[in-house]
Homo-oligomer: A and B are copies of this chain.
Amino acid sequence: MALDHALLVALSEQPSSGLDLTRRFARSIGYFWPASHQQIYKVLGRMESEGWLEVTEVVQTGRPDKKVYAVTPAGADALAAWLATPTGVDAFRSEIAVKLRGASYGDRAAVLATVRDLLADHTLRLDHYTALAKRQFPDPGALHEAGREHELDQYLVLRGGVRLEEFWVGWLTEYLEAHDRD
């Protein structure tokens, strides 16, 4: 897949310009598929030339004009086809895991300091996502009503974000407790 289908999902929710998309993406799907604006513009261009997107030049007053991208029927077909193909287990690449494993071959205090910083980061993120979930979805049980499937999906992906941060906070805490005891 790569970025293409992630952008199709975002643009299916809401047609956008490159910059709008970059921003919205960073706060939603981009949490599970990070992308820079450079990369997003490139993929938008490619998808347009493939006929998956159509562009509308929007003239603005008080700011530069922009191009708004929307998913075409061909783009919707491509997205649906991709959603129907099975996916294997996601690869997971973690630089800090390699450092934890290799700490004996360098300055352990430096690795511990990095872990402390990361734990602070992830704790902040966890708080942030927990608050966001409570604000955006105060009554998750109600999302099971007919017609609210897409909201339910958004909620469940946010739950994944919360769970992922819980994983990090839990693991890094366990690491620090084990090593600070020495």
A-to-B contact residues, CB < 8 Å: 1, 5-6, 8-9, 12, 28-29, 31-34, 76, 79-84, 86-108, 110-111, 113-114, 117-118, 121-122, 125, 143-144, 146, 149-150, 152-154, 156-157, 159-160, 163-164, 166-167, 170-171, 174-175, 178-179, 181-182
Contacts and interface: CB of A to CB of B under 8 A. Distances in A.
Given A98-B29, A105-B76, A157-B100, A34 B91 contact: yes
16 contacts: A1-B95, A8-B105, A9-B102, A29-B98, A33-B95, A34-B92, A86-B114, A87-B99, A88-B118, A91-B93, A101-B154, A101-B157, A144-B181, A159-B171, A163-B170, A163-B174
Contact of A96 (B76, B90, B164): B90
Copies in the complex: 2
B33 A153 contact: no
A91 B150 CA distance: 25
Contact of A33 (B79, B97, B146): B97
Nearest to A104: B150
A87 B105 contact: no
A122 B89 contact: yes
